[in-house]
């Protein structure tokens, strides 16, 4: 019988001791002294009389855990509030780099300028200006994407007006230069070109010499595979397609000019920020903190953003 009573008596004495001395014990765990190492022991501790939420059960047992941080490469923003808090975030990694002296064009500044001129955003990435680096990089990508799109459009439209010339004028302009393509579009036929251009040139040179006049005409007039005759509506369609191809080529050239401008702006921006310190670190922090109230299951959710 005594073997069964001993555990119950020991439990009753422990509860009586805890309930009787709870008013004289501090309600929190004191921090370790300065210079001391990390405290040993489990995370869960008995804290008699802890100032916790007073519910149906007296607060004679408090669970004390250190805040847990999940940061990458950087220290946490600070100790979260409350006895139980979890914080995690993603912060841009800031590397410690040598300060680039402002003023004269030094070796480091010249290297950064060359990087930005070679690939916009490269110099900014070297200096830790990741937002500016992404901006110039995306701008460069968009410019080259636009250039490629317009060059593809030029090729398609050139193929269209070459086919139109072959179908409606009977002449193959493949491999011909721009002057030939312009002449075919400006004159309704090769006979009209011979009459208005070749005879005029012959008259300017040999107006009073009949034999030389006709000899020049026979030598320079268009014949054979160089002749054409436009059908109804084909010439206007050809001219419209050729103008569209020229507009696409001009827009592609404009994209190339924008690529040059983007490099210049990126180099100037890199030179401007080269002597300045790196921007402040940015992070997200999420906390789960118990609330001091009668409900022991109440928590607060906090989100912090550092710009």
The answer on pLDDT for 165 being more than 50 is yes
Indicate whether 80 pLDDT > 90. no
* pLDDT at residue 17 tops 70: no
> Which string of DSSP letters, residue by residue, matches the chain?
-HHHHHHHHHHHHHHHHHHHSGGGS-SSPPPPPTT--PPPS-SEE--TT------SS-S--EE----EEE-SSS--SSPPSSSS-EEE---------PPPPSSS--HHHHHHHHHHHHSTTHHHHHTT-HHHHHHHHHHHHHHHHHHHHHHHHHHHHHHHHHHHHHHHT----TT--HHHHHHHHHSSBHHHHIIIIIHHHHHHHHSS-HHHHHHHHHHHS--GGG--B--TTHHHHHHHHHHHHHHHHHHHHHHHHHHHHHHHHHHHHHHHHTTSPPPPP-EEEEEEEE-SSS-TT-EEEEEEEE-
What pLDDT score does 16 carry?
A: 55
Of the chain, the percentage scoring pLDDT greater than 70 comes to 60
pLDDT at 28: 39
Q: Where are the domains of the chain?
A: 45-94+279-307, 130-189+228-273
pLDDT at 32: 47
Residue 256 pLDDT > 70: yes
Per-residue confidence (pLDDT) for residue 109, from 0 to 100: 82
pLDDT of 11 reads 62
Write down the mean pLDDT value for the chain. 74
Which of 96-110, 178-192, 193-207 is predicted least confidently?
96-110
- pLDDT higher than threshold 70 for residue 24: no
Whether pLDDT at 5 is above 50: yes
Residue 142's pLDDT band (cuts 50, 70, 90): very high
Provide the pLDDT confidence category of residue 221 given band limits of 50, 70 and 90: very high
**What percent of the chain is predicted at pLDDT more than 90?**
45
Q: Sorting pLDDT into bands at 50, 70 and 90, what band is 113?
A: confident
pLDDT at 60 (0 to 100): 38
Per-residue pLDDT, 107: 80
């Amino acid at each position: 019988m005594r073997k069964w009573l001993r555990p119950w008596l020991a439990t009753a004495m422990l509860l009586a001791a805890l309930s009787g001395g709870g008013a004289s014990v501090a309600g929190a765990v004191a921090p370790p002294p300065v210079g001391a190492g990390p405290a040993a022991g489990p995370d869960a501790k008995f804290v008699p009389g802890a100032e916790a939420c007073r519910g149906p059960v007296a607060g004679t047992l408090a669970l004390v855990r250190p805040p847990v941080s999940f940061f990458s490469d950087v220290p946490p923003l600070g100790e979260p509030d409350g006895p139980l808090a979890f914080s995690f975030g993603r912060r841009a990694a800031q590397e410690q780099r040598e300060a680039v002296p402002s003023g004269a064009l030094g070796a480091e500044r010249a290297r950064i300028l060359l990087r930005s001129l070679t690939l916009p955003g490269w110099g900014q990435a070297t200096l830790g200006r990741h937002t500016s680096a992404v901006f110039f990089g995306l701008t460069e990508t968009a410019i080259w994407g636009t250039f490629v799109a317009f060059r593809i459009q030029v090729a398609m439209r050139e193929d269209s007006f070459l086919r139109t010339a072959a179908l409606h004028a009977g002449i193959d302009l493949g491999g011909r230069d721009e002057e030939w393509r312009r002449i075919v579009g400006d004159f309704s036929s090769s006979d009209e070109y011979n009459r208005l251009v070749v005879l005029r040139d012959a008259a300017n040179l040999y107006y009073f010499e009949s034999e030389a006049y006709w000899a020049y005409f026979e030598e320079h007039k268009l014949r054979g595979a160089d002749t054409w005759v436009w059908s109804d509506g084909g010439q206007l369609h050809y001219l419209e397609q050729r103008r569209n191809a020229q507009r696409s080529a001009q827009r592609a050239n404009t994209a190339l000019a924008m690529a040059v401008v983007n490099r210049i702006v990126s180099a100037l921006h890199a030179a401007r920020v080269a002597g300045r310190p790196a921007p402040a670190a940015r992070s997200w922090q999420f906390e789960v903190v118990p609330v001091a109230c009668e409900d022991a299951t109440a928590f607060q959710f906090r989100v912090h953003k550092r710009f």
